[in-house]
Amino acid sequence: MIVPNAELIPLLTEAVLCRGARARLTVTGSSMWPIVRHGDVVEISAVGDRPVAMDDLLLARRDNGDYVLHRVVQVSSDGGIYLLGDAQTLREGPLRREQCIAVVVAAWRGDHPLPLTHPLIRLTVRLWRWLTPCRPVLLLVLRVLRRGWTLLTGSARVRRAAAERRP
């Protein structure tokens, strides 16, 4: 029997978490940009009995079986948990507690740790959550600035490489 990785990896991850161990996953997609990006690595730990808190990065299983890593933006009085990707404007939920698989405890971009608990990052996350209604415009501006920066630094690299090739 052949089991596709898309089905096998989540099962293995949940089995590891059930034993109390941590697991590392590579982030795919752009729904958490700009804080967590495609290719970043996150370390997750089972939610267990710990309370789910605002701004936690949570790995959850949707009703359709898909897994999603998004930020907690609301925990209702009846226990419903609402998630929102940092690059999104529509929250999803309510999710039930049993749909919450793991919480992110650490993250890396390449060899560099991402200081997710640093006060400046926490302030940025809170401000970003507060600006949810403005996100479409802000994300467009950020993408244009990023593209412009890439073009500028790319052009500088091309000029340097051309200058090095000249006799």
pLDDT in tens, 74-91: 999 998 999 999 888 889
pTM to 2 decimal places: 0.75
Q: What backbone torsions phi and psi does residue 45 show, to the nearest 5 degrees?
A: -135, 145
Give the residue carrying structure tokens 């793991």. 102
pLDDT in tens, 118-147: 899 889 888 888 888 888 898 888 888 878
Between 164 and 72, name the one with better pLDDT. Answer: 72
Task: Provide the pLDDT for residue 166.
Answer: 63
Closest of 20, 107, 16, 10 to residue 56, by C-alpha: 107
Task: Provide the pLDDT for residue 58.
Answer: 93
